[in-house]
Amino acid sequence: MPDRTAIQSLILESVQMLAEDFELEALKAPSPETALYGVDGSLDSMALVNLIADIEEALAEKFDASIALADEKAMSAKNSPYRNVASLTDAVIERMPS
C-alpha cells in the first residue's frame, strides 16, 4: 500500500486540478489543512462529488486501488470525512486494501 505522503500528494494534485476546473481561488494552492467541504470549505456538493470521483479514478490509475469513497457522513457540515485534505487522506487510507 502507498504511504500517507503518496496518498496525500495524489489528493492535493486532484484538489488543485478541480480548483482550476471550477475556478476556486481558495483551493489553487492546497495544503493538508485546507478546508474542503462544510465549515469554511469552498466546495459545494457538486464540486465535492466531482473531487471524490476524480480521486477514486486517480487511486485506480496510480495505485491500482479499486475503492469507493462513499460515506454516511459525506455531506455533514461538521463531521464530513471530506472536510479538509488531512481528513480526506485518513478516509482514503482507511479504505485502501492492506
Partner 1 sequence: MKTIVITGTRKGIGKEMAKHYLAEGWQVVGCSRGEGSIEHAHYQHFSLDVSDEDAVIAMARKIKASHGKVEALLNNAGIASMNHALLTPASTVNRILQTNVVGTFLFCREMSKLMRRTNNGRIVNFTTVAHPLNLEGEAIYAASKAAVESLTRILARELAELKITVNAIGPTPIETDLIRGVPQAKMDALLARQALNRMGEVRDVINAVDFYLREESDFITGQVLYLGGIN
- When the beta carbons of 3 and 70 are compared against partner 1, the nearer one is 70
- When the beta carbons of 66 and 98 are compared against partner 1, the nearer one is 66
Q: How far apart are CA 97 and CA 41, in angstroms?
A: 29
Q: Is 58 in the site for partner 1 (CB under 8 A)?
A: no
Q: How far apart are CA 39 and CA 84, in angstroms?
A: 10
The one among 1, 6, 29, 53 contacting partner 1 by CB under 8 A: 53
Residue 35 has which C-alpha cell? 478546508
Angle at which helices 45-63 and 4-22 cross, to 10°: 140
Which residues contribute to the site for partner 1 (CB under 8 A)? Answer: 46, 49-50, 53, 56-57, 60-61, 66-68, 70
